[in-house]
Amino acid sequence: MATLLRVPEVAAGATEAILSEWLLEESASFRAGDPVVTLETDKALVEVPAEADGILLRPLATQGETVAVGAPMALLGDESERDSDVARLLAELGVQESSVTSGGTAPSGQPVAAPASARGDGATPASPAADADVPRTIISPLARRMLREAGLSTEDLPRGTGPNGRIVRRDVEEVIGRHRATAGPAVPDAEGTSETAPKAGQAAPVASAESATPPHLLATQAPADRPDHSVVTIPHTRLRRAIATRLTASKRDIPHFYLKRVARLDALLTLRAQLNEVSKQRISVNDLVVRAAALALQEVPEANITWTEEGMLQFATSDVAVAIASKRGLVTPVLRSAEDLSPAAIARHVAAYVSNADDGTLRQSDLEGGSLTVTNLGMYGVDEFSAIINPPQSAILAVGAARPEPIVEEDQVTAATRLPLVLSVDHRAIDGALAARWLDALVSSLEQPLRLVV
């Protein structure tokens, strides 16, 4: 029996998603649980599985299209309906084919033809088999946006270096670099036409404000009495809007309180150097902090909880999120059972998450769960900061820059490397004394780092 595959609520509170990629060709068979289509949310990619065995009779949304939650995106059927009249099946389900097809691109590369009445040309829709040999281009959402912004298309690089020929960020960066090297940067002349940039030793023409600014960052000029100033409107990305909404809700709804500690790091830095001498994966201080946080959640399991209106959720495993400043924006993928991961394994997982975040290939499941996030701005020289809790988690650990400082030890002044830590806590779930116990367990592991490798 024919059914509609509708857009699920792929993330909590989501009202729409981008159809990133059809994973099946039109008329292809699938089994229950097989992924049919990939949707792009604000932060990740989500594969939508089939609920039962069947056939993809017709895609109703095109790659790159924004689709609303609950909207039909495909017509599914069984073997008996393989050669059925698709328009009739859609009509029986209360869907007009012309309202869901718009001449886009089907998964195999052929156009999705609207009915003749919708096109207005009186022609019979082209047979899908006519373009059956057109190769399918697989491209990540980030790579697609980079191509579009550079004024290029997938024809400039028909096959990528990713899995199964997928075009990824590095492929686009390479072709953009070649394109710029070949054409040279264009600058407007006095008549408003373009020419290549001057050779070495030549003065470059002065470009106008409009021509020197990307179309999406055109400046709105300030008043005439301030000719040297301008205001630039940068449109919000979907990710930036999601971050704003989520963190505004966090500060509004979660009663934050903060605890501060400083950990002496000399022994940990010595251990890290020894580990990196034998490890194939470079281990950072942050990787060791994540490991220590996971062990502290095991040592103080009462803190490994999250608040819900019905009751507390207490977790057996230490699922720790790591804040990553990707090229697309801030994301917090979760390391599952981090208490069972070695420092090198944590480093590998984090490196993979960084790559996936930059390529736009994080999965929604990568971003869900956990009771704690670790965020580190020490590499930027930040001494100390307080972070906003990532709901529904109960705490976030902010890590500053480790610096050598003078300390008094047995009436002697000596130097020690000290790491500032600030823990933001949800007071609904965790009280001050409990948070202090957890923070003490963390500092103990950092100052006795052999705990991290046994």
Domain boundaries, the chain: 3-131, 141-178, 252-452
CATH number corresponding to 252-452 = 3.30.559.10
Q: What local confidence, expressed as pLDDT, does residue 38 receive?
A: 87
pLDDT (average), residues 375-386: 96
**pLDDT more than 90, % of the chain:** 44
The predicted-structure confidence for 408-431, as pLDDT tens digits, reads as follows 888 889 999 999 999 999 999 999
Whether 207 shows a pLDDT value over 80: the answer reads no
290 to each of 85, 212, 381, how far by Cα in Å? 57, 44, 19
Q: Among this protein's residues, is 179 annotated catalytic?
A: no
Least confident of 93-97, 264-268, 430-434: 93-97
Quote the CA–CA distance of 20 and 15 in Å, as a whole number: 16
Q: What local confidence, expressed as pLDDT, does residue 144 receive?
A: 72
The predicted-structure confidence for 91-113, as pLDDT tens digits, reads as follows 888 887 655 443 333 333 333 33
pLDDT (average), residues 309-330: 92
**pLDDT more than 70, % of the chain:** 76
Whether 177 shows a pLDDT value over 90: the answer reads no
Q: Is the pTM of this model over 0.85?
A: no
pLDDT higher at 70 or 257: 257
Quote the CA–CA distance of 133 and 120 in Å, as a whole number: 28
From first CA to last CA, the distance across the chain in angstroms is 57
Query: How many residues are recorded in the chain?
Result: 454
Q: What local confidence, expressed as pLDDT, does residue 245 receive?
A: 85
Instruction: Name the H helices within 97-186.
Output: 97-100, 116-119, 141-149, 169-183
Look up residue 332 and give its two tokens.
């917090």
User: Looking at domain 3-131, which CATH architecture does it have?
Assistant: Beta Barrel (2.40)
Q: What local confidence, expressed as pLDDT, does residue 231 receive?
A: 85
Highest mean pLDDT among 21-35, 44-58, 190-204, 436-450: 436-450
Least confident of 44-48, 118-122, 267-271, 396-400: 118-122
Assign 183 a pLDDT band (cuts: 50, 70, 90). low
**DSSP at 373:** E
Give the count of alpha carbons within 13 A of 232, CB side only: 11
Quote the CA–CA distance of 6 and 72 in Å, as a whole number: 4
User: Are the folds of 3-131 and 252-452 the same?
Assistant: no
Give the count of alpha carbons within 13 A of 274, CB side only: 9
Answer left, alpha or beta for residue 442, where phi above 0 means left and psi between -120 and 50 means alpha: alpha
Q: What local confidence, expressed as pLDDT, does residue 17 receive?
A: 84
Which residue do the tokens 């994966």 mark?
281
Which residue do the tokens 């819900």 mark?
308
pLDDT (average), residues 13-39: 87
270 to each of 13, 217, 264, 275, how far by Cα in Å? 46, 47, 12, 9
Whether 120 shows a pLDDT value over 70: the answer reads no
> Do 167 and 156 form a contact (C-beta atoms < 8 A)?
no
The predicted-structure confidence for 54-92, as pLDDT tens digits, reads as follows 999 999 998 888 888 888 999 999 888 888 888 888 888
Q: What local confidence, expressed as pLDDT, does residue 416 receive?
A: 93
Of 58, 118, 120, 110, which is closest to residue 88 (Cα–Cα)? 58
pLDDT higher at 382 or 213: 382
Q: What local confidence, expressed as pLDDT, does residue 9 receive?
A: 77
Least confident of 4-18, 358-372, 391-405, 431-445: 4-18
Measured in whole angstroms, how far is the alpha carbon of residue 165 from the centre of its chain? 21
Measured in whole angstroms, how far is the alpha carbon of residue 98 from the centre of its chain? 33
Omega of the bond leading into 392 within 30 degrees of 0 (cis):
yes
The predicted-structure confidence for 335-356, as pLDDT tens digits, reads as follows 999 999 999 999 999 999 999 8
Look up residue 387 and give its two tokens.
């972070």
pLDDT higher at 388 or 147: 388
Bridge-based pairing of strands 372-376 and 395-399 is parallel
Quote the CA–CA distance of 343 and 323 in Å, as a whole number: 17
Look up residue 150 and give its two tokens.
């550079």
pLDDT higher at 330 or 218: 330
Mean pLDDT, the chain, rounded, equals 80
Quote the CA–CA distance of 386 and 293 in Å, as a whole number: 17
Quote the CA–CA distance of 327 and 205 in Å, as a whole number: 32
Whether 269 shows a pLDDT value over 80: the answer reads yes
Q: What local confidence, expressed as pLDDT, does residue 345 receive?
A: 97
Measured in whole angstroms, how far is the alpha carbon of residue 426 from the centre of its chain? 25
**DSSP at 167:** B
Q: What are phi and psi of 58, to 5 degrees?
A: -160, 125
The predicted-structure confidence for 220-255, as pLDDT tens digits, reads as follows 444 545 554 678 888 887 778 888 888 899 999 999
Whether 187 shows a pLDDT value over 50: the answer reads no
Non-local CB neighbours of 267 within 8 Å, separated by 6+ positions: 447, 448, 449
Quote the CA–CA distance of 79 and 82 in Å, as a whole number: 5
Look up residue 446 and give its two tokens.
């950092």
Query: What 3-state class would DSSP assign to 170?
Result: helix
Catalytic, out of 179, 256, 349, 427? 427
